[in-house]
Amino acid sequence: MGVILVVAAHPDDEVLGAGATAARRAAAGDTVHLVILGEGVTSRAGDRAGGARAAVSALQDDARQLAFYRCWTRKEAYIKALGEGLTMPLDTFDVSLCEQPELVRCRDGREDPAAWSMLDVSPGPEFVAAAALRGKEVVVRRFRLAMA
């Protein structure tokens, strides 16, 4: 039994970068610790988050954390779908914070939100993940891989 330390710059980086390895090590009996260097809204979005920052900050405890993760993963999915990476200002578009993922508004006029699908692709109840793509007829299929 060992001790594993996962260090991530931002929330969700640990899942994308080392999630499977951490899960496998924990299943093998190792103790897995996680250190996230930035706490979220202020670490990535700064003053560029638009109205989302105020909306998230107005919530309490668990609701705030869930809304932040929904906001961040949905915004990240959209800018990655555009191929912009994290250089695109986060205040140029809005996403929903509620259970139903949606591209709500594009302030810069470059995209029509009605032409986009935003999907919850969370692998389980303790995770938040999103995908965004241009198009409306999208089917998501989920399956579980058996861990050896």
Model's pTM, two decimal places? Answer: 0.61
Whether the pLDDT of residue 48 is over 60: the answer is: no
User: What pLDDT does 43 receive?
Assistant: 46
Distance of CA 7 to CAs 31, 41, 59, 110, 146, Å? 14, 18, 27, 36, 26
d(CA 101, CA 62): 18
Q: Where are the beta strands (DSSP E) in the chain?
A: 3-8, 31-36, 93-95, 103-106, 116-120, 130-134
User: What pLDDT does 53 receive?
Assistant: 64
pLDDT digits (tens, 9 = 90+) for 70-119: 888 999 999 999 988 777 888 899 999 888 999 999 988 889 999 999 99
pLDDT digits (tens, 9 = 90+) for 8-20: 776 666 666 677 7
User: What pLDDT does 114 receive?
Assistant: 93
User: What pLDDT does 124 receive?
Assistant: 79
Mean pLDDT computed over 47-63: 65
Token pair listed for 86: 């994290």
β-bridge mates for residue 6, sequence order? 34
